[in-house]
């Protein structure tokens, strides 16, 4: 029995007890999207995985500050702007919105703050000033600013590479760089491209610099958890560490990385990407079912995508939903969620979701047995524990976000007509037949057919 949360830290390659830097509080920085195309499921898996972490920390009593940035200036965005013949900022806003909609459809909670890179140029310039002043970075006069990797003592500890083993580009231009492996903090403006003024010339930020500056701005010089996809370890996260630690900041305490969604064993390719766009998949399954599927694998395990596996996950989820519905019918209400000890134990083991799903399957089994024997207490406790678990996984069907479709409309309609029928029955019982008939006529005028039967009043839309 593990009463304490343990997390895997990429930096130490070890699972250890989670200890926040400040008691009761957790700061998380998650690298967000470069908004240059509609999201595919590979993009949103990290959103779902880290949303589960956030919900679990919150449920465990922590006050969580969750930062997920938007990279809204980048080569790919500039290329897209040329291709789509719209301004670069219109590209960024269009796809930022697409990501926001995808996160919403998947019930990924909005971050505490969602900083855009272009809104934090001042903080990036401040960081470069520190790095140039202490000799970690240099501005060779062409408008670029580089980090001097040879003076780093801690470089490449996350990916466990050696600087000498790093391939340096054969064609690296050493006119301005001291070493081909030095990376750009800032890039000099090219004609026609957007740029911001700095003491070293106008230009735009390098991707790595953005995250160091924004993490510092919202979480301070040191914070608990930095997350991102596995493919960000090198160079992005190594370079964030190099910049931040060269500035004298301790930076992230724990590094967490989610694995990819693969298709045919490979990281999702662009060609597959189109059919696996979130908005396309949501034509086949509901948001709650896609969320269930994406969250079902352990965050450090590759998720091999197939439509068969997605459909299978959706069918499994509908079984759980079906139980909750029957339990609600029997009890007259859906019990509030309760997080069971077995579920807690699974989640505390580095978010062992597959084990947690096995726990849910066991509860479902006992819940269905209780239903079959009309054991209301058994049904109630199973429904409460299932709802508690689904809430942590972001898959509670009663969450407002999922309760906005046809199903919810039908529930509201059912509630309203039942209310009117109760009023009619009350009027009749006090022998106010004029009022009862008036209610009946008004309901009929809306096209609702009422039928009085020995089992009670039934209605349908005629
Ligand atoms: Zn980042």
Q: For residue 286, how far is its CA from the centre of ligand 1 (angstroms)?
A: 30
Could you list the beta-strand ranges (E) of 283-325. Answer: 303-304
Place of tokens 């919810």: 408
Q: How far is the CA of 94 from the centre of ligand 1 (A)?
A: 20
**Tens of pLDDT along 397-429?**
988 878 765 555 666 777 788 889 889 989 999
Tell me phi and psi for residue 421, to 5 degrees.
-65, -35
pLDDT in tens, 223-266: 999 999 999 999 999 999 999 999 999 999 999 999 999 987 77
- Tokens 């219109």 correspond to 90
Give the integer Cα–Cα distance in Å for 209 and 16.
29
Contact (Cβ atoms closer than 8 angstroms) between residue 106 and residue 290: yes
**Same fold? 6-258, 284-294+302-392:** no
pLDDT at 458: 74
CA distance 223 to 101: 29
The predicted model scores a pTM of: 0.86
Q: How far, CA to CA in Å, does 163 sit from each of 145, 156, 231, 238?
A: 20, 7, 19, 12
- Give pLDDT, residue 171: 58
Question: For residue 243, is the peptide bond before it cis, meaning its omega torsion is within 30 degrees of 0?
Answer: no
Structure confidence at residue 352 (pLDDT) = 98
List Cα–Cα distances, 189 to 142, 179, 204, 279, 419, in angstroms.
Answer: 10, 22, 7, 35, 66
Q: Which strand (E) or helix (H) includes residue 457?
A: strand 456-461
User: How much distance in Å is there from the Cα of 146 to the middle of ligand 1?
Assistant: 18
Nearest to 317 by CA among 245, 393, 371: 393
Between the CA of 217 and the centroid of ligand 1 the distance, in Å, is 14
Q: Is the CB of residue 268 less than 8 Å from the CB of residue 276?
A: yes
Range from 92-106, 166-180, 329-343 carrying the lowest mean pLDDT: 166-180
CA 208 to ligand 1 centroid distance, Å? 6
Does 2 score more than 60 pLDDT?
no
Output the CA–CA distances (angstroms, integers) from residue 241 to 50, 246, 275, 288, 433, in the order listed: 20, 8, 36, 36, 78
d(CA 26, CA 24): 7
* Residue 37 CA, ligand 1 centroid: distance in Å: 18
Between the CA of 166 and the centroid of ligand 1 the distance, in Å, is 21
User: Ligand 1 centroid vs 236 CA: distance in angstroms?
Assistant: 6
The DSSP element (H or E) to which 261 belongs, if any, is strand 261-263
d(CA 278, CA 275): 9
Question: How far, in Å, from the CA of 211 to the mean position of ligand 1?
Answer: 5
CA of 38 to the centre of ligand 1 (A): 19
Among candidate residues 105, 15, 64, the one with its CA nearest the CA of residue 402: 105
Which of 144-158, 178-192, 261-275 is the least confident region?
261-275
Determine what percent of the chain is predicted with pLDDT higher than 70.
95
Question: Ligand 1: distance of its center to the CA of 132 in Å?
Answer: 21
Q: Residue 30 Cα, ligand 1 centroid: separation in angstroms?
A: 7
Q: Which residues pair with 91 in a beta bridge?
A: none
Query: What is the per-residue DSSP string for 51-104?
Result: HHHHHHHHHTT-EEEEEE-BB---HHHHHHHHHHTS-HHHHHHHHHHHHHHHHH
CATH topology of domain 284-294+302-392: 1.20.120
Interval between CA 113 and ligand 1 midpoint (Å):
15
| CATH topology for the 6-258 domain | Rossmann fold (3.40.50)
Q: Cα(429)–Cα(421) distance, rounded to whole angstroms?
A: 12
Q: How far is the CA of 140 from the centre of ligand 1 (A)?
A: 25
**pLDDT for residue 459 is more than 60:** yes
**pLDDT average, residue stretch 292-319:** 96
Confidence at residue 266, expressed as pLDDT on a 0 to 100 scale: 75
Whole-number pLDDT of residue 411: 60
Question: What's the pLDDT band for 366 if we cut at 50, 70, 90?
Answer: very high
CA–centroid distance, residue 21 to ligand 1 (Å): 21
User: Do the beta carbons of residue 259 and residue 10 sit within 8 Å?
Assistant: no
User: How far is ligand 1, taken at its centre, from the CA of residue 24, in Å?
Assistant: 25
Q: Where are the domains of the chain?
A: 6-258, 284-294+302-392, 406-461
Helix, strand, or coil here: 185? Answer: strand
Shortest CA distance to 313 belongs to which of 336, 288, 339, 278? 288
pLDDT one-digit tens code per residue, 335-365: 999 999 999 999 999 999 999 999 999 999 9
Q: How far is the CA of 19 from the centre of ligand 1 (A)?
A: 23
- For ligand 1, the distance from its centroid to the CA atom of residue 32, given in whole angstroms, is 7
Ligand 1 mean position, distance from CA 214 (Å): 9
The rounded Å distance from CA 227 to ligand 1 centre is 9
CA of 210 to the centre of ligand 1 (A): 7
Average pLDDT over residues 87-110: 97
Residue with tokens 């996260």: 237
Give the chain's mean pLDDT. Answer: 93
Query: For residues 459 and 274, what is the distance between their CA atoms, to the nearest angstrom?
Result: 44
Indicate if the pLDDT at residue 10 is higher than 80. yes
Give the span between the Cα atoms of 7 and 20, in whole angstroms: 12
Residue 1: per-residue pLDDT: 40
| Mean pLDDT calculated for residue range 25-36 | 97
Segment 126-164, tens digit of pLDDT: 999 999 999 999 999 999 999 999 999 889 999 999 888
Distance 232 CA to ligand 1 centre (A): 8
Long-range Cβ pairs for the range 120-123 (8 Å, 24+): 120/210, 120/213, 120/214, 120/217, 121/196, 121/205, 123/213, 123/214, 123/216, 123/217
């Amino acid at each position: 029995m593990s009463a304490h949360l343990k997390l895997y830290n990429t930096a130490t390659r070890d699972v250890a007890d989670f200890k926040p830097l400040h008691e009761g509080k957790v700061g998380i920085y998650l690298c967000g999207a470069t908004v240059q195309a509609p999201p595919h499921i590979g993009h949103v898996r990290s959103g779902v995985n880290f949303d589960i972490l956030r919900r679990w920390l919150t449920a465990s009593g922590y006050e969580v500050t969750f930062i997920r940035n938007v990279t809204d200036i980048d080569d790919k965005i500039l290329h897209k702007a040329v291709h789509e013949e719209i301004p670069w900022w219109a590209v960024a806003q269009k796809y930022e919105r697409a990501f926001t909609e995808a996160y919403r459809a998947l019930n990924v909670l909005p971050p505490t703050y969602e900083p855009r890179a272009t809104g934090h140029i001042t903080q990036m310039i401040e960081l470069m000033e520190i790095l140039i002043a202490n000799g970690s970075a240099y501005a060779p006069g062409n408008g670029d600013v580089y980090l001097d990797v040879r003076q780093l003592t801690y470089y490449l500890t996350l990916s466990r590479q050696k600087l000498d083993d790093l391939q340096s580009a054969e064609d690296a231009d050493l006119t301005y760089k001291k070493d081909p492996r030095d990376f750009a903090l800032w890039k000099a403006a090219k004609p026609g491209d957007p740029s911001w003024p700095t003491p070293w010339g106008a230009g735009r930020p390098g991707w790595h610099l953005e995250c160091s500056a924004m993490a510092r701005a919202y979480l301070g010089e040191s914070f608990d958890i930095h997350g991102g996809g596995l493919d960000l370890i090198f160079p992005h996260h190594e370079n964030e560490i190099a910049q931040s630690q060269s500035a004298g900041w301790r930076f992230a305490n724990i590094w967490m990385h989610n694995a990819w969604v693969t298709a045919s064993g490979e990281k999702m390719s662009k060609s597959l990407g189109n059919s696996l766009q979130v908005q396309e998949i949501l034509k086949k399954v509901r948001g709650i079912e896609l969320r269930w599927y994406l969250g079902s694998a352990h965050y450090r395990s590759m998720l091999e995508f197939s439509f068969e596996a997605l459909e299978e996950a959706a069918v499994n989820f509908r079984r759980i939903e079906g139980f909750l519905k029957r339990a609600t019918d029997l009890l007259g209400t859906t019990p509030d969620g309760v997080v069971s000890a077995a579920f807690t134990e699974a989640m505390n083991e580095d978010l062992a979701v597959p084990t947690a799903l096995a726990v849910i399957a066991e509860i479902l089994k006992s819940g269905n047995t209780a239903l079959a024997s009309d054991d209301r207490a058994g049904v109630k406790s199973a429904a409460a524990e299932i709802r508690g678990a689904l809430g942590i996984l972001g898959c509670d069907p009663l969450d407002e976000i999922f309760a906005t479709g046809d199903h919810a409309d039908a529930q509201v309609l059912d509630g309203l007509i039942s209310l009117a029928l109760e009023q009619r029955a009350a009027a009749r019982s006090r022998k106010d037949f004029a009022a009862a008939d008036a209610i009946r006529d008004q309901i009929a005028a809306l096209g609702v057919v009422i039928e009085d039967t020995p089992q009670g009043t039934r209605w349908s839309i005629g």
